[in-house]
Chain A
Amino acid sequence: MIELSLVFVFGILAGVFAGVLPGVGGVVIMTLAFPFLMQIDPASIIIFYVTMASVDQYFNGITAIVFGVPGASMNIPTQIEGHTLFRKGRGSEAIMNSAVGSFLASLFAVGIVLLLLPVMWTVYGIWTSVAQAALLGMACLVLVGLARNRVLVNALFFLFGGVLGQVGYSHERGNSFMTFDMDILYSGLPTMSVLVSLFVIPVLLNSYKKLPGSFDFPGVDFKGYKNTVLGIKRFWSTLFRSSVLGSFGGLMPGMSFGFSSILAYISEKAIRQKKKVYRQGDMHSLIACESANNAGVFTQLVPLLFLGIPITASEALIYTILESRGLPVDIEWFKSTFDQVLLFFVASSVIGLFLSARYVNFLQLFNGLAIQKIYLMIVVILFIALWQTGASQYAGFDHLVIALALVPLGLLVHKLDTTPLLFGFLLSEPLLDNLKRILVIYF
């Protein structure tokens, strides 16, 4: 029990660290913690991961809302809606609603898992290439239609993003694309480098002339939670839709909760646009992506815990640690750890919720600083983070160089909405992949 408690505390600290520093995601933390994880009890490894991933989501959201920096690709919608709300002086509301929404979605995910466990293999029966392609295709179409630029510009951005996503040596194609014989390009363009240079920098450049949000966060306290919980009922339908999407995203290999949170966001935005009530800085759309994220954090454990299928890189690492230590990785063992995992997940969600409120109070230190200085500081921190997160993946300098090389392009298009470019980079390959499979299977 002492070991479990210590692991829980380390998991919380790791989650805070991952959430506050952009780019430091689950894989980076798990890689850094590898020697430590090799020493601890197998159930503790799972608990460390679930605690870290859960707490990370709360802090990631705040970084995207307040500083306009998405910690990972799944936080791009949070940045788009949340940071706009922050600059409109509605930062507190954005933080509280997304935190409470996330917490409720986490509980929803626990319920979904308990409900679906007996029929999990049947659930996978619907996850065919057609279903995957339909969801991805819908997401891509809606994205191209909804971004702020003209549709043609969005489509071109999406295609260009897709081209950037193909850079590197492909074992599938057996050839190199746009590597120019430079070994740093053989692994492809790192997502974080593309995210920083082609999304964050253009957004910051666009934002700095506008009024900065206040770094006072009235109502972000324990009392504020009560008011938010009471007021969140007007978002029930949004919460339900996004929790369902996020939960299923976590369960499905190849989809991941990152994509499902983007899908939840796009769906919500489309609904709001249809009702002609959408304006950038939309609370419903923010809650949609944040709650989908948190629901998926828990459900993504199910394929690993019950079917022995690791669906994320972090889970593959956990699986390997267990295997390499000769520890049981059969379904019976995983089932025996489930109660503990459930308990620690709920506990970490509660702690994440309250700790993030305390963290927000520290942000008052930024009050009085000129927005240019704050943004400059963010850019410097981002590049240091790029170097450091890259270093943990053994390519720190490479990540930095690629990001710097992409900055001119980011500056060139900074007046446009670059989200279609970014989503083209992330989604076009899985979409094409599914379409190719459908062609072989059905034609």
Chain B
Amino acid sequence: MNIVKIIFFILMLTATSFAEKIDVVKHTSPGGLVDRMNEVIAKSLGDNFGQFIQVKNCVQAVKVIEKHKGKVLTAWPTEREAKGNPCNLENKFLLSTFSNSPYHITYLESNSEASDIDFLTNGSEVIVGVWDSNFWAPPQTAFLQSINPNIKVVRYKGKPFRTALASGEIDYKVVSFPGQDPVIAIMDGKHLNTDHKFSNMGYSMMFVGNFDYDIARVYSIVEWQDRTDSTHQPWMPDLSKDEQINRVEDMLSAITEMDN
């Protein structure tokens, strides 16, 4: 009996040590939102996690995902699937939608004028800062100007964006994670100009890889529950993969058409 137990134990050990590890591709700057999500994905793999494959940009990440001999997973900003983006992945690598956070319109606490929603919707000189992205800035601009044609939209790159509110040159800032700044409105399709096609818009990510992996495992771990980017929620988890991809394609087409 003991021999059987020992053989069983050895077989178990062998099976564990030869189980194929799963790698996670890191393709964005360390410390950013996507990078943090990739950390969570790695945690969800437990003992099956192999290593992080770090690449310099998303073009190199595409090559890893398409050609890697082992199994790989990663979080993937949705706009990369837009037409013309050099980081497009074939649909077969899109495992599911991952997370989405509606854009929040924030202001500086000491700015009493901006704390009144009427100023945003009816003010004669309102300046709103958005992240300088060729993909997201145009629909954000279209939506903001639909609620108040007097709104001027200014694009900011990362570092100056952080103190733009404090400098006083903008009244509001559009961000997916508001941090400590007070929020005047959320672009979740329930508050401002609900008829507008971009009233429900947020920063989103897909879950991609070269094998099937259930995203629910990521949502179930404690690191996901404790994430600091709490406005980022599971994105369309109840839909089938085909439905998710169709919705994403519709969204990307609507934005791309507007850009053109």
Contacts and interface: CB of A to CB of B under 8 A. Distances in A.
Interface of A: 31, 34, 121, 124-130, 132, 169-176, 183-184, 186-187, 252-254, 256, 303, 308-311, 313, 316-317, 319-321, 323-324, 326, 330, 393-395, 398, 433-434, 436-437, 440-441
Nearest to B170: A441
6 contacts: A34-B30, A174-B259, A186-B59, A303-B162, A393-B56, A441-B152
Interface string B91-135: 000000000000000000010000000000000000100001111
Contact of A121 (B29, B36, B110, B226): B110
A130 B167 CA distance: 11
Interface string B147-181: 00000111111011011001111000000000110
A171 B134 contact: yes
The 7 A-B residue pairs whose C-beta atoms are closest, nearest first, are A174-B134, A320-B31, A124-B166, A394-B54, A254-B160, A395-B56, A253-B159
Contacts of B159: 253-254, 256, 311
B253 interface: no
Contact of A437 (B31, B32, B156): B156
B249 interface: no
Contacts, number: 122
B152 to A, nearest CB: 6
A129 B36 contact: no
B30 to A, nearest CB: 5
B212 to A, nearest CB: 27
Interface residues of B, number: 43
Contacts of A309: 162-163
Nearest to A34: B30
Interface in B171-194: 179-180
B51 interface: no
Contacts of A183: 57, 59-60, 63
Given A186-B86, A253-B160, A440 B29 contact: no
A128 B167 contact: yes
Interface in B30-61: 30-32, 35-36, 39, 54-60
Contact of A317 (B30, B110, B133, B135): B30
A104 B131 CA distance: 39
Given A171-B133, A172-B134, A187-B57, A441 B162 contact: no
B167 A125 contact: yes
A174 B39 CA distance: 27
B96 to A, nearest CB: 23
A176 B132 CA distance: 16
Contacts of A121: 110, 166
B55 A129 contact: no
B246 interface: no
Given A127-B163, A308-B180, A433-B157, 4 more contacts: A124-B166, A186-B57, A324-B228, A394-B54
Given A125-B167, A395-B56, A172 B152 contact: no
Contacts of A34: 30
B253 to A, nearest CB: 16
B137 to A, nearest CB: 8
B134 A173 contact: yes
Contacts of A127: 163, 166-167
Contact of B29 (A132, A313, A434): A313
A169 B159 CA distance: 19
Contacts of A129: 160, 167, 169
A437 B155 contact: yes
A366 to B, nearest CB: 35
A36 to B, nearest CB: 15
